[in-house]
């Protein structure tokens, strides 16, 4: 799927995706929970070269070695996740999409780190990394 677009809460940062989605997932890791103040974070991954950001430049935070989290410097909306373990790829938050109806999340990541009080009753594969 291409032609996806999204934005932050205040509309200062926008992006457009011109290439296909590489993979998708719901992340349950503690780092994502703390970065988003939510029990689970849903991502779609694309080639970095296929994303064009517009408006204000993202600010970045190195949340752990080799990891960069991009966010709007104006409203604080989380926008991206990149890791040295997957060069040339960037994860974008499904929640930032203008229209996420064509995106299907296919798996759970860091399942063993999930919060106990959230029930996930789907049949998606559940991985611990």
Cα–Cα distance, 123 to 31 (Å, whole number) = 24
23-27 vs 108-109, strand pairing mode: parallel
Range name among 13-17, 69-73, 117-121 with the lowest pLDDT average: 117-121
Cα–Cα distance, 47 to 20 (Å, whole number) = 8
Question: With 90 as the cut, is the pLDDT of residue 3 above it?
Answer: no
User: For all residues of the chain together, what is the average pLDDT?
Assistant: 96
The pLDDT tens digits of the residues spanning 5-57 come to 999 999 999 999 999 999 999 999 999 999 999 999 999 999 999 999 999 99
> Where are the domains positioned within the chain?
4-113
pLDDT for res 129: 80
The domain over range 4-113 is classified in CATH as 2.170.150.70:
yes
């Amino acid at each position: 799927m291409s032609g996806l677009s999204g934005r932050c809460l205040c509309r200062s940062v926008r992006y457009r995706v011109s290439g296909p989605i590489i993979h998708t997932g719901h992340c349950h890791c503690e780092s994502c929970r703390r970065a988003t103040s939510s029990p689970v974070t849903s991502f779609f991954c694309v080639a970095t070269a296929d994303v064009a950001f517009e408006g204000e430049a993202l600010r970045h935070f190195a949340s752990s070695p080799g990891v960069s989290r991009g966010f709007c410097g104006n409203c604080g909306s989380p926008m991206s996740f990149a890791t040295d373990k997957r060069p040339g790829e960037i994860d974008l938050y499904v929640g930032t999409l203008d229209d996420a109806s064509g995106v299907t999340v296919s798996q759970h990541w860091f399942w063993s780190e999930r919060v106990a009080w959230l029930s996930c009753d789907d049949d998606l594969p559940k991985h611990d990394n």
